[in-house]
Amino acid sequence: MSRRSLLATGGIGTALALAGCLSDETDTDADSGDGESTEAAQTEAETDDEDDEDDEGEEYEEGEEETDEPDVEHALPFEDDFSTLELLHSESSEEGLGLDTENVDQFARLADADEPVDGSRVNRTTEDEEHIVYKFDDVIGGFRVETHYHPDQDGRVSVAVSETGAVWTNVIPKKDLYSEAHNDEDAPGHWWKNYEYVSEATGDDARYIRLTLSGDVDWSPQIGWVTVWGTDGSDVETDTPEGEGEEEGESEDEISFEDDLSSMDALHTSSDTDLLGFDTTNTIQFARPEDAAEPTDPSRLNRQTDDDAHAVYRISQDITGVRVEGHTSPDHPGDISISVSSNGADWTDVDVEKDVYSEAHDDEDEPGVWWENAEYTAENLDDGVRYIRITLSGDVDWTPQIGHVEIW
């Protein structure tokens, strides 16, 4: 029964109760008491049409509130300067994103930009991994993202695309440092590193793009500008200005894909997500390599069963190598293996080089206590590889574990 029907029924029921009668007819010869009830009934009847109109309006307004507004589809080419968050798709993080408009001189823009600094950037309001999602009305041809990193804080910006918004393909963009961190407070970009990410390899028929922010602190990294274009790309200049990055002494042509395994968002849907989970306990036991930003690993992927379980990644362009940080208990070593595929159906095992960077030991104050920590690396993969599958196996579910994955 609708809200309107309930209101109408309630009004009639009240009038009948006051009249002391359950009949549909009104007694015009009733005494003063009944007259009062009749007056109430008449008043109710006189205002019924008006109430119906009001109720219809209320019902419409209420329905509008309960019905989600359709998500905006942006036309291509598209730009977002993050002066607002209203352009984001509903699949973006709801409460985990905010805008930073402070200290604008620290956030340099590209040399050919209209302004030398970026007045508003998106960052996280939590230390969790957060997503920025856009949807477009045509197929994406490529994108460019201006990102800002504080050099003292570990953080990442990763990119994925999708045809439907359900199955995501990770993208490895080119990365160029266009403004190095420096101490000149009168020049744009001091204290922060400013990078441009560019890619034209976005996968077949992708209409969604997802940018993921992660890191140790909520205020770094930040994203200041996003440009997305269609398959012709005719209106977009994608080349980095000549001399940018090189004159700073640190130009990076390629960036690898990284997953710190704090969530399963980067995994392909063919992964055994129902058999996998995360271990965030006893972090002192899980050492990271010497050159890592942190000495221990706060979150690792492991199995929730004794059966074999697969973690699968799909990349939009050919993969040449993969590195996995793995952790095994010497009492139950289990196995970490890697296989590759061009189509996600036919898999080939690859030779993996294992480098133990932290042996199991008994010093409870040192990272890696009681566990063996190693890098598993496969390089020079065959042409056409687009999928990486990491398989965890062993006689107990809590070992082995994997903590970081890097794909290039």
Mean pLDDT, residues 201-207: 86
- Buried/exposed 47-78: b ≥16 CB within 10 Å, e otherwise: ebeebeeebeeeeeeeeeeeeeeeeeebebbb
pLDDT number for residue 235: 52
pLDDT number for residue 234: 52
pLDDT number for residue 361: 97
> Does residue 393 carry a pLDDT above 90?
yes
- Sorting pLDDT into bands at 50, 70 and 90, what band is 242? very low
Closest CA to 220 of 142, 286, 300, 152: 152
Please give the structure tokens belonging to residue 372. Answer: 């063996």
pLDDT number for residue 285: 97
**Crossing angle of the two packed helices 3-19 and 32-46, in degrees rounded to 10:** 160
| Nearest-angstrom CA–CA distance, 210 and 265 | 11
Mean pLDDT, residues 65-69: 50
Percent of the chain past pLDDT 70, that is, above it, reads 77
Which residues, in sequence order, are CB contacts of 67 under 8 Å at separation 6+? none
- Sorting pLDDT into bands at 50, 70 and 90, what band is 122? very high
Mean pLDDT, residues 149-169: 95
DSSP secondary structure letter of residue 5: H
Phi then psi dihedrals of residue 45, to 5 deg = -65, -40
- Sorting pLDDT into bands at 50, 70 and 90, what band is 245? very low
Q: Which of 111-125, 188-202, 222-236 has the lowest mean pLDDT?
A: 222-236
* Residue appearing with tokens 């994608």: 238
- Sorting pLDDT into bands at 50, 70 and 90, what band is 38? very low
- Going by their DSSP bridges, the two strands 372-378 and 353-358 should be labelled as antiparallel
Element (H, E) at 16: helix 3-19
> Does residue 95 carry a pLDDT above 60?
yes
Is omega for the bond preceding 116 within 30 degrees of 0, making it cis? no
Q: Could you tell me the pTM of the whole model?
A: 0.78
Element (H, E) at 43: helix 32-46
| Nearest-angstrom CA–CA distance, 158 and 304 | 27
Sign of CA dihedral 90, 92, 93, 99: negative
> Does residue 102 carry a pLDDT above 60?
yes
- Buried/exposed 219-253: b ≥16 CB within 10 Å, e otherwise: bbbbbbbbbbbbeeeeebebebeeebbeebeebee
Mean pLDDT, rounded, of the chain: 84
pLDDT number for residue 59: 42
Mean pLDDT, residues 168-185: 95
| Nearest-angstrom CA–CA distance, 285 and 48 | 73
Contact present, 158 and 262 (Cβ < 8 Å): no
| Between residues 365 and 31, the one the model is more confident about | 365
> Does residue 21 carry a pLDDT above 70?
no
Number of H helices, E strands in the chain: 3, 22
| Nearest-angstrom CA–CA distance, 153 and 150 | 6
The domains found in the chain, sorted by start residue, are 3-66 (no CATH), 78-254 (2.60.120), 276-407 (2.60.120.200)
> Does residue 252 carry a pLDDT above 90?
no
| Between residues 37 and 110, the one the model is more confident about | 110
DSSP secondary structure letter of residue 320: -
pLDDT number for residue 70: 62
> Does residue 6 carry a pLDDT above 80?
no
pLDDT number for residue 72: 85
Q: Which of 51-55, 122-126, 167-171, 194-198 has the lowest mean pLDDT?
A: 51-55
Residues 289-344 have pLDDT tens digits of 999 989 999 999 999 999 999 999 999 999 999 999 999 999 999 999 999 999 99
Contact present, 124 and 218 (Cβ < 8 Å): yes
> Does residue 250 carry a pLDDT above 90?
no
Show the beta-strand stretches assigned E in 63-117. Answer: 78-80, 97-100
